[in-house]
Homo-oligomer: A and B are copies of this chain.
């Protein structure tokens, strides 16, 4: 019997259940640390390296003085929010016995470029992000609405955005030239 192929939404429930049991006994074990290393490549190009995975490129569109070789950072941010919600839907639907047939999430937000360019005061970031979830699943609307609320409430990226984060950025000491 191949358990993997029978898992609802192709979610590895055995591993998830093991994690849940582990964290129920030892919640401290669930304090997970994540990291990324960003290398500037010249101009507005930069690559983000995570673990040993292929690097992720960012650039700006040509109208914004870039060379258009990748999404820019505020676009990557929207993608990360959608991808976080997708994981939440897949996992929580599986837990509820809901089969997802299709899921697409569109995200949109506005950036005030004059603030980024130092021409105006105000918030250089997104004030608001609009998300539309297109979910095709075998459950009544009220169950999908409950799933939707739960996914939003427990989304790591969603909560990172909704709540203020302490961004502690430090300029490292200059490398010794010895």
Contact = CB atoms under 8 A, between A and B. Distances in A.
A60 B157 CA distance: 14
A38 B83 contact: yes
A4 B75 CA distance: 26
Contacts of A27: 114, 119-120
A100 B107 CA distance: 34
A31 B111 CA distance: 6
A1 interface: no
A163 B109 CA distance: 15
Interface in A132-178: 132-136, 141, 144-145, 148, 150, 152-172, 174-175
Interface residues of A, number: 127
Contact of A56 (B71, B102, B130, B153): B71
A38 B169 contact: no
A27 B119 CA distance: 9
Contact of A36 (B64, B78, B164): B78
Contact of A40 (B61, B90, B145, B163): B90
26 contacts: A11-B65, A20-B119, A23-B113, A30-B113, A31-B111, A35-B75, A37-B104, A38-B79, A38-B83, A38-B86, A44-B90, A44-B91, A48-B79, A51-B71, A53-B71, A56-B71, A74-B80, A125-B155, A125-B162, A127-B165, A128-B167, A129-B167, A131-B168, A136-B174, A161-B167, A162-B167
A21 to B, nearest CB: 10
Contacts of A72: 34, 83-84, 87
